[in-house]
Amino acid sequence: MNKNELVKLIDTTKCTACRGCQVACKQWNEMPGLKTRNWGSYQNPPELGWNTWTLVRFQEYVDSKGILKWLFRKEGCMHCTDAACVKVCPSNALYRTEFGTIGLHASLCIGCKECITACPFDVPKYNPHTDTILKCDLCYDRLKGGELPACVKSCPTGALSIGKKEVMIENAYTRAKELGGDANVYGDTFVGGTHVLYVLGEKPEVYENLPARPAVPLTIVAWKDWFKPLSLIAAGGVLIGSFFHYITHGPKDTGGNSDQTCKGGGE
Amino acid sequence: MIPKKGMIKVSDTFERIVHWCLAISCIVLMLSGLGMMFHSFNFLAIPVGGLKNLKLVHNFTGLIFIPSLFFAILVWWKEAAIFDVPDDIEWIKCAGGYLWHVENPPETGKYNPGQKAFFIAVAVFGIIMIISGLIMWFPLEFSASTVRVMFFLHALGFFVIFPFFFIHLYLGTIGVPGSFPAIMTGYVTRAWCEKQCPKWLREMEENGTLEVFGEEKPAAEHH
């Protein structure tokens, strides 16, 4: 295992939805705030966008005992180990960093939007002004400089923390155990383990826009892991096959070369 | 490659134009597609100045491919999409003598079953490539699960079309000598015709519609 692997832990039970992370993210990454419409929720902007790489989702939930709960979940790139976006990216614009996170060379992006389709978490967003996608890179530049990601740095309640993978997984399970009830750890058991973990207060199914069992879509696996090698084998096969056909079976005899036949026909 | 007296016309001008529009757009699409599908083929983007341009080349060549395929189907479906039972079945059983020695392979019409299979593959998977390609061009207008299936179909299309394409290229040039002029000048030798499309040749002669270079055109074919 990669010793540099980092994991960001989001303890949703400690989040007060101050949205400091959202602002810090925009500030550090110099992303503009765009005009949005009030749709009756503090969740603003309403969804992730090319200019919004992280977002606190607000959700009202009535549990089985009839108790109304206000759930806050910081949404953003999960930095999968088995990342569908990296698998499909034709230009290597999306890549795995030494921290196990998924970085983005926006200058290499060709705007094909394949990652948008492939991502099981619906994270990458398209910026029509630059014809590239954009997404959280877990502040790769800050991590390289030994700094905390902007969101973690800004978090006043300790809901966000980052550290070595094993340590963070351990912390997550300790915290979930401490909370008891439906509290659980989300992220370490699928798509090869995400580099963003949640401690969720409720079952994953309860949360809006959060797949309960995320996976690299089967069609993407079929496309990239099966048909890519298969098409190379097929293409190589006919190239080599045709060559050997020519030197063994030989070309078809279609009545000698055209000149002789023509003379015959013309005379 | 000037046709000589006595050569037989097997393809008209429109057929040859359609063939080459389809062939060239297909080759450009395959090369540009490969350049995007495999990182090891990314170098194919160098001549056009990068992958972003290669994407544009691929997408806009697709727009040439669409009418080319449309006319190809229109022009050839009657001769190349309908199997001639039972002769074609017999031909398939001995692979037309292309793979092992066969004393007298069954006679074929204008196109043999191998060519028919190629035509059908290109027609069917060409349409699949067009539909999936257009959806992939505008993926945000469709649900992610729909677009994912299109990616898969697009890869499947390449997997099917490329081998057929290459075998067609091989047999249309060095594999079956004398074939290439059929799609360049439109004229082939009578000997070639007797080997490659004897049934068609007989039928044309019986109808008196055969066009022979250097001889007066049959009345029906006057333009």
Give the count of domains, chain B: 1
State mean pLDDT over A201-222.
95
State mean pLDDT over B96-100.
90
Residue A100 has pLDDT above 70, yes or no: yes
Amino acid at B188: V
Whether residue B172 lies inside any domain: the answer is yes
Q: For residue B48, give Cα distances in angstroms to B31, B32, B53.
A: 12, 10, 6
Mean residue pLDDT of chain A comes to 93
pLDDT band at residue B215 using 50, 70 and 90 as cut-offs: confident
The residue among A35, A70, A31 whose CA lies nearest residue A51 is A31
State mean pLDDT over A217-222.
95
Whether residue B2 lies inside any domain: the answer is no
DSSP A4: T
How many residues in total does chain B contain?
Answer: 223
Q: Judge: B177–A251 Cβ closer than 8 Å, yes or no.
A: yes
Locate the chain B residue with the closest alpha carbon to A222.
B152
Q: Judge: B191–A242 Cβ closer than 8 Å, yes or no.
A: no
Q: For residue A52, give Cα distances in angstroms to A23, A70, A124.
A: 9, 22, 10
pLDDT at B220: 52
Terminal-to-terminal C-alpha distance of chain B: 24
Whether residue B1 lies inside any domain: the answer is no
Q: What is the pTM of this model?
A: 0.90
Q: Which residues of B touch A223 (CB under 8 A)?
A: 148, 151-152, 154-155
Q: What is the pLDDT of residues A120-165, one digit of tens each?
A: 999 999 999 999 999 999 999 999 999 999 999 999 999 999 999 9
pLDDT at B89: 92
Whether residue B57 lies inside any domain: the answer is yes
The beta-carbon neighbor of A92 closest among B39, B99, B189 is B39
The beta-carbon neighbor of B139 closest among A113, A122, A242 is A113
For B46, half-sphere exposure in the C-beta direction (CA atoms, 13 angstrom radius) is 6
> Is residue B90 a contact partner of residue B43, using CB atoms and an 8 Å limit?
no
Q: Judge: A264–B6 Cβ closer than 8 Å, yes or no.
A: yes
For chain A, what percent of residues have pLDDT higher than 70? 95
**A6-216: which CATH topology?**
Alpha-Beta Plaits (3.30.70)
pLDDT band at residue A258 using 50, 70 and 90 as cut-offs: very low
Kindly provide the ipTM of the predicted complex, given to two decimals: 0.88
Find which of A218, A230, A231 to mutate to test the B interface (most B CBs within 10 Å of its CB).
A231
Whether residue B16 lies inside any domain: the answer is yes
pLDDT at B103: 85
Q: How many CB atoms lie within 10 A of CB A127?
A: 16
Residue B211 has pLDDT above 50, yes or no: yes
pLDDT band at residue A2 using 50, 70 and 90 as cut-offs: confident
pLDDT band at residue A31 using 50, 70 and 90 as cut-offs: very high
Chains A and B form CB pairs within 8 A to the count of: 155
Residue A263 has pLDDT above 50, yes or no: no
Q: What residue spans of B7-143 are helical by DSSP H?
A: 13-37, 51-80, 87-93, 113-137
The beta-carbon neighbor of A227 closest among B136, B155, B175 is B155
The beta-carbon neighbor of B55 closest among A110, A257, A264 is A110
Q: Which residues of A touch B149 (CB under 8 A)?
A: 219
The Cα B50–Cα A92 span in angstroms is: 13
Find which of A221, A244, A252, A259 to mutate to test the B interface (most B CBs within 10 Å of its CB).
A252
The Cα A179–Cα A199 span in angstroms is: 10
Q: Which residues of A touch B6 (CB under 8 A)?
A: 262, 264-266
How many residues in total does chain A contain?
Answer: 267
Q: What residue spans of chain A are helical by DSSP H?
A: 20-28, 84-88, 114-118, 140-144, 150-154, 165-179, 218-221, 228-248, 258-266
Residue B81: CATH number of its domain: 1.20.950.20
pLDDT band at residue B218 using 50, 70 and 90 as cut-offs: low
The Cα A242–Cα B116 span in angstroms is: 19
The Cα B134–Cα A98 span in angstroms is: 37
Tell me how close the Cα of B119 comes to any Cα of chain A, in angstroms. Answer: 18
Q: Judge: A91–B42 Cβ closer than 8 Å, yes or no.
A: yes
Tell me how close the Cα of B55 comes to any Cα of chain A, in angstroms. Answer: 7
Residue B176 has pLDDT above 50, yes or no: yes
State mean pLDDT over B75-81.
95
Q: Which residues of B touch A91 (CB under 8 A)?
A: 36, 42, 51
Angle at A78 (CA atoms; ends A77, A82), nearest 5 degrees: 120
Q: Which residues of A touch B7 (CB under 8 A)?
A: 258, 262, 265
Angle at A186 (CA atoms; ends A184, A190), nearest 5 degrees: 135
Distance, CA of A185 to chain centre: 19
> Is residue A143 a contact partner of residue A136, using CB atoms and an 8 Å limit?
no
For chain B, what percent of residues have pLDDT higher than 90? 86
Tell me how close the Cα of A118 comes to any Cα of chain B, in angstroms. Answer: 7
pLDDT band at residue A253 using 50, 70 and 90 as cut-offs: confident
Residue A264 has pLDDT above 60, yes or no: no
The residue among A155, A203, A207, A120 whose CA lies nearest residue A24 is A155
pLDDT band at residue B104 using 50, 70 and 90 as cut-offs: confident
Q: What is the pLDDT of residues B106-163, one digit of tens each?
A: 899 999 999 999 999 999 999 999 999 999 999 999 999 999 999 999 999 999 999 9
Whether residue B198 lies inside any domain: the answer is yes
Locate the chain A residue with the closest alpha carbon to B133.
A112
> A41-45, A192-196, A257-261, B143-147: which has the minimum mean pLDDT?
A257-261
Beta bridge partners of A199: A11, A185
Domain that holds residue B191: 8-221
The beta-carbon neighbor of A234 closest among B51, B98, B163 is B163
Which residue ranges make up each domain of chain A?
6-216, 219-266
Q: For residue A35, give Cα distances in angstroms to A38, A125, B54.
A: 10, 17, 35
Residue A181 gets the label, from left (phi > 0), alpha (psi -120 to 50) or beta, of left
> A54-58, B7-11, B132-136, B215-219: which has the minimum mean pLDDT?
B215-219
Tell me how close the Cα of B214 comes to any Cα of chain A, in angstroms. Answer: 9
DSSP A149: P
Q: What is the pLDDT of residues A69-87, one digit of tens each?
A: 999 999 999 999 999 999 9
pLDDT at A256: 54
Q: Judge: B144–A90 Cβ closer than 8 Å, yes or no.
A: no
The Cα B79–Cα B111 span in angstroms is: 7
Q: Judge: A255–B192 Cβ closer than 8 Å, yes or no.
A: yes
pLDDT band at residue A220 using 50, 70 and 90 as cut-offs: very high
pLDDT at B219: 55
Query: Which of residues B18 and A3 earns the better pLDDT score?
Result: B18
